[in-house]
Homo-oligomer: A and B are copies of this chain.
Amino acid sequence: MTPTGEPQSSRREFIRLAGAGAIALPLASLAGCAHLGAAADPLPSWNDTGAKKSIVAFVQRTTTAGSPDFVPVPERIAVFDNDGTLWAEQPMYFQGFFVLDRVKALAPQHPQWKTKEPFASLLKGDMKGVAAAGEKGAVELLAATHTGMTTEEFTRTVSDWIATARHPGTGKLYTEMVYQPMLELLAYLRANGFKTFIVSGGGIDFMRPWTERVYGIPPEQVVGSSVKTRFEMRGNTPVLVKLPEIDLNDDKEGKPIGIHSRIGRRPIAAFGNSDGDLAMLQWTAAGAGPHFCLYVHHTDAQREWAYDRASHIGRLDKGLDEAKARGWTVVSMRDDWKTIFAH
C-alpha cells in the first residue's frame, strides 16, 4: 500500500478529470433491473460467457457427490484479493485516501508537519511532493496514521471513516465501489460450501471493521498486511498498541506465506487482479486436487478503469502471461460483467 500511487497527476487533477466525465458513472442501477426475472441464476451480473461458465463448471465438479473431482466441504477454501478484485483501486488504493484524510485530521496535533516532508506536501495537496519522498515517505505516513494507538482506537477511526468518506472521482462511499459480480460470486461459493477468505496486501486492521457487513467475510477470515502489537495493562485494562514494525507484508510471495500462517491449508480457488496475486494463484494451482484460478482484468474504461501491464497500481503483466499459458480464467470486466459496482 502506498499513498503515492498516482505520481503523474495530483489528486486535484484527478478530481477535475473525474468531474469532466472521464470516469463514467457505473451503470449498476440500470443493469440490475434487466435481470429481475433470472432468480434461479446465482450470478445474474455475469454475462453468459466463458468466464462464468468456467466458474459454474468448477463449482459443479467439486461439489457433486460422486464426481471424480469432488472436494469435501472443509477443504473448499477460496481466497480473494481485495484491492482491484473485490473493490476498485484507482486512482490509488483506497487505504491511501484514508492516509490522506488521517494526516489532515491529525495535523493540528502535529504543528511540525507543516515543514516536515512528506507531511508538508500532503497538507498542501502536492501529491508530486509526496511521491518525491519515495518509500521512506510512505512508511512515515503509514506509521503516523496506523501506529501508536490501541487496536480498538484504530478500529473506531476506520469505522467512522469508511461510513462517511467518499471517493473523489465517483462521489460514492468506498464500500459502494465493490463489484456486484464478485459479491454474487462470494455468495455462490458460500452457498456451495466454500469458506471465503480475503488475502490482501491491504492492512488487516483497515479491512476487518467492514468486511463482514460488505462482503459477508468475518474478521477471522481476513488475511492482510499487519504491524506488530504490544500488550499493555492500562490500569486494569489490557490493550494492544499498534507498533511501527511490519508483522506480515501480505503481498506477492507474502500471500502464500500469509495463507499458510493464517489459514493453514491450501486453497482450491484463488481470485486476484494483479502480479501481486500471482504467487497466491501459483500456490493454489500447485495443490494436489482440483483447483481454480481467476484474474479480474480491468478492461472497462467506460464503467470503471482500464489498466494492466503498464499500471503502477494493480499491474497485471506476468500474471496475464501466466494465466494464458496455464489456462486460468481471465475475466474481462467490459465483456464478462453486466454490472460493475454494487451501488
B220–A282 CB distance below 8 A: no
A260–B151 CB distance below 8 A: yes
Q: Chain B contacts of A238 at CB under 8 A?
A: 256, 279, 282-283, 286
B231–A264 CB distance below 8 A: no
A45 within 8 A of partner (CB): no
- Residue of B222, B230, B257 touching A264 (CB-CB under 8 A): B222
Q: Which 7 A-B pairs have CB atoms at the shortest separation, nearest pair first?
A: A219-B264, A231-B253, A220-B263, A208-B264, A219-B265, A238-B282, A238-B283
A42 within 8 A of partner (CB): no
Copies in the complex: 2
A261–B219 CB distance below 8 A: no
Q: Chain B contacts of A74 at CB under 8 A?
A: 212, 218
What is the size, in residues, of chain A's interface with B at 8 Å between Cβ atoms?
37
A229 within 8 A of partner (CB): yes
A53 within 8 A of partner (CB): no
A256 to B237: give the CA distance in the assembly, Å: 13
Shortest Cβ distance from A91 into chain B, in angstroms? 29
Which residue numbers of A lie inside 8 Å of B, CB to CB? Answer: 74, 77, 151, 195, 197, 204, 208, 212, 218-222, 226, 228-231, 233, 237-238, 240, 247, 253-254, 256-257, 260-265, 279, 282-283, 286
Q: Chain B contacts of A261 at CB under 8 A?
A: 204, 226, 229, 247
The residue in A218, A230, A254, A260 that gathers the most chain B C-beta atoms within 10 A of its C-beta is A260
Mind listing 15 A-B residue pairs with CB under 8 Å? A77-B220, A197-B220, A208-B264, A208-B265, A219-B264, A220-B220, A220-B262, A226-B261, A231-B253, A231-B257, A238-B279, A238-B282, A238-B283, A240-B256, A247-B261
> Which residue of chain B lies nearest to A209 when distances are taken between CB atoms in the complex?
B264
User: In the complex, given contacts A222-B264, A240-B256, what are 10 additional A-B residue pairs having Cβ atoms less than 8 angstroms apart?
Assistant: A77-B220, A195-B220, A208-B265, A219-B264, A228-B257, A231-B256, A231-B257, A238-B282, A240-B257, A262-B262
